[in-house]
Amino acid sequence: MNPGGSADDAREPFRRQAFDFSPWSFWSSADEEARADQEALQRQLTAGPPGYRFGPRCFVSRLASVQNEVLELGPSSYVAAGAYLSGSLRTGRNCTLNPYTVVRGEVRLGDAVRIGAHTSLLAFNHTMTDPDVEVFRQPVTPKGITVGDDVWIGSHVVVLDGVTVGSRSVLAAGAVVTKDVPAGAVVGGNPARVLRWRVPDAAPAPASTASTGSGTGENGTGDLAAAVADLSRRAREQAGEVLDRCYDPARGLFADRPGAPPTVRAQCDAVEVAALLLGGPPPQLDGEEQRERLRSWQDARTGLVGQLDDSGSPRRPAGTQLEDGDVSYHVLCVGYALELLGSGFPHPVAVVADMEASDVVAYLRRQPWQHRAWTAGNYVDTLGTALHWNQRAGVPGRPGAVEAVFGWLGLNADPATGMWGGRDPDGSLLQVVNGFYRTTRGTYAQFGVPLPRPERVVDTVLQHVRDPQLFAPGRQNACNVLDVAHPLWLTRSTGYRAEEVRDVARRLLRDALGHWTDGQGFGFQAPHPSTRSLEPTRPGLQGTEMWLALVWLLADLAGVAPALGYRPRGIHRPEPAPTNGDQA
């Protein structure tokens, strides 16, 4: 175990534990005996109850107190002497927990997180709601702590439960961190506040007139409302031009954008855009003709709508499964386009009509929640919407099928996030949040059923939206912003963290107002000098339909929706879908 030097060296007693207190030099300097001992310790830990996993070149000091249920260390990550670990700790690569670090509860570290000595990450808290019960006897409320990539946490720092620390930030020695730390910030003090910016580009832009409150009303609401009204006016004036550039008169079909092939979704997006901005069907095509064509595309046997072939004719769906890419989304977009055209599917969705409650539960269980929550949410959205269309058509399905959807989802919502599924491998919440929107759009939102854990949803979304890799103005896309806007709108009645929600809505709304291209509409991805050559930044029908809907959601959260003069209809309708007795 001797890391080097003579046995007679007077410093030898101190060197015996050198790697325990300076573990970063272990694999470059330790002798074979020390390496074999460390490898034996890791084998012993991983051979016990499941939940322990170590990447290559990890080190765990025998002088640490390791009491975790889950301990997953990424490559070249170290735990030094005196560290006290409990709960669930997952790290990326090159993370170091220095001597006497305390990490307890549900904690996730990204790559290259270095934690100084005597620092505590405490991812749980005792409630104190009952003054007649001793605090230690009251329930524990864990929310978890998440730390991004390339974060330096100094010595004697305390990070409290529920905090997210953004990537490339620095927590100065002695800081007491009670709130989320923005990516790229340097924070310090008690309570911690932003002192400066390690990453200058991550600093917030100087407040504009609209954000400083110089306009009418709180926080410049008058100026923001004027900007919203201006976008609405331009979009209405240019709606015909936006639709016409995507229309092929020779085939009588819409494409998402010029030069792209026609798709089923493009026909539906054209109907949605026209209904929103013009109050009727696209002027390029007779409404009755469009309606009958969409109805004819539904396969009578399965109730599904296949993709278009090269000639613009629909292919017959390959099977009866809802989990079939574009065919799955067609249940949503074609059904709602037909509703906007005053009609509906001529046939029920057969595979859903025959589902017993046990089949519904099996369907929900087999979705890839832990690794691809967005995909799972996509297919749950399809299931819920198919059940809705069948009910509207007088085909109620098997007894208990709809109830099984809400029963399973309610029981399996994560108490910490209010959502379903696991984080991405890098700790990102992208899949979880995006999957939540799709899951709830077709179920809770569409059927008007209350969410099981709305306040946790707000916490999760507000944590997610601080990620500059996704929500800096030049990195936004319609999917990611919509998947934030809709959950915040759906939970607005709770009043929970309402001012923070309004601030986020105003910020994203101001960004969105600048994404419109005159005469062309919105691209799916926000335009930016660094991304202007990318295909998703080109304006098209999909981007226009999605951004128009999410602009309304954000404007309503910001208190300026009346200035838009429209309200989403069809697939992004904010209120529950009508039942048999309601008007579409």
pLDDT digits (tens, 9 = 90+) for 404-419: 999 999 999 999 999 9
pLDDT digits (tens, 9 = 90+) for 105-137: 999 999 999 999 999 999 988 777 778 888 888
Dihedral sign for Cα 561, 564, 566, 570, please. Answer: negative
In this structure, of 83-92, 114-123, 219-228, the range with the lowest mean pLDDT score is 219-228
> Mean of the pLDDT values across residues 512-522?
94
Quote the mean pLDDT of the chain: 88
Angle between helices 325-340 and 373-392 (to 10 degrees): 40
- What's the pLDDT score for residue 132? 80
Amino acid identity for residue 245 in this structure: R
Cα–Cα distance measured from residue 54 to residue 49, given in angstroms and rounded to the nearest whole number = 14
Higher-scoring residue by pLDDT: 10, 390: 390
CA separation for the pair 438, 454 (Å, rounded): 16
Q: Is 401 exposed, middle or buried (0-12, 13-18, 19+ CB in 10 A)?
A: buried
What angle in degrees, to the nearest 10, is found between the helix axes of 264-277 and 287-296?
Answer: 150
Whether the predicted pLDDT of 79 surpasses 60: yes
Q: Is the pLDDT of residue 257 over 70?
A: yes
pLDDT at 286 over 90: no
Q: Which two tokens stand for residue 322?
A: 């809802």
pLDDT band at residue 13, thresholds of 50, 70 and 90? Answer: low
**Closest of 317, 454, 449, 435 to residue 376, by C-alpha:** 435
Residue 214 has a pLDDT of 36
pLDDT band at residue 317 using 50, 70 and 90 as cut-offs? confident
Please give the sequence-ordered ranges of beta strands (E in DSSP) within 172-249, or none if there are none: 176-177, 185-188, 193-197, 247-248
- Token pair of 9 as six digits: 């060296």
Higher pLDDT, 454 or 214: 454
User: Is the pLDDT assigned to residue 322 strictly greater than 90?
Assistant: no
Q: Can you tell me the distance from the alpha carbon of 382 to that of 364, in angstroms, rounded to the nearest whole number?
A: 12
pLDDT of residue 14: 58
Lowest model confidence (mean pLDDT) among 342-356, 451-465, 568-582:
568-582
Rounded Cα distance between 442 and 153, Å, is 42
Asked if 126 is an active-site residue, the reply is yes
The whole-number average pLDDT for the span 412-435 is 89
In this prediction, residue 216 carries a pLDDT of 41
- Give the number of other Cβ atoms within 10 Å of residue 25's Cβ: 13
Q: How many residues appear in the chain?
A: 584
Give the Cβ contact number of residue 460 at 10 Å. Answer: 23
Amino acid at 356: E
11-15, 304-308, 453-457, 517-521 — which is least confidently predicted? 11-15
Cβ neighbourhood burial of 313 (10 Å; 0-12, 13-18, 19+): exposed
> Residue 67 burial (CB < 10 Å; 0-12/13-18/19+)?
exposed
Catalytic residue among 126, 330, 388, 572: 126
DSSP label at residue 316: P
What is the predicted pLDDT for the residue at 101? 97
Report whether the peptide linkage leading into residue 131 is cis, meaning its omega lies within 30 degrees of zero: no
- pLDDT for the residue numbered 319: 64
**Of the candidates 427, 493, 498, 422, the residue with the CA atom closest to the CA atom of residue 454:** 493
Domains of the chain: 19-202 (2.160.10.10), 356-449 (no CATH)
Position 15 scores a pLDDT of 66
In 3D space, the residue among 364, 392, 394, 396 whose CA is nearest the CA of residue 378 turns out to be: 364
Tokens found for residue 377 = 């949410």
Asked if the model's pLDDT at residue 215 lies above 60, the reply is no
pLDDT cut 90: percent of the chain above it: 69
Please state whether the predicted TM-score (pTM) of the whole model is above 0.75: no
Banded model confidence at residue 100, pLDDT cuts 50, 70, 90: very high
Answer yes or no: are the C-beta atoms of 434 and 377 closer than 8 Å.
Answer: yes
Band (pLDDT 50/70/90 cuts) for residue 42 is very high
pLDDT at 367 over 80: yes
What are φ and ψ of residue 21, in 5° steps? -100, -15
Q: What is the pLDDT of residue 320?
A: 63
Going by C-beta distance under 8 Å and a sequence separation of 6 or more, which residues neighbour residue 557? 485, 488, 489, 492, 501, 502, 505
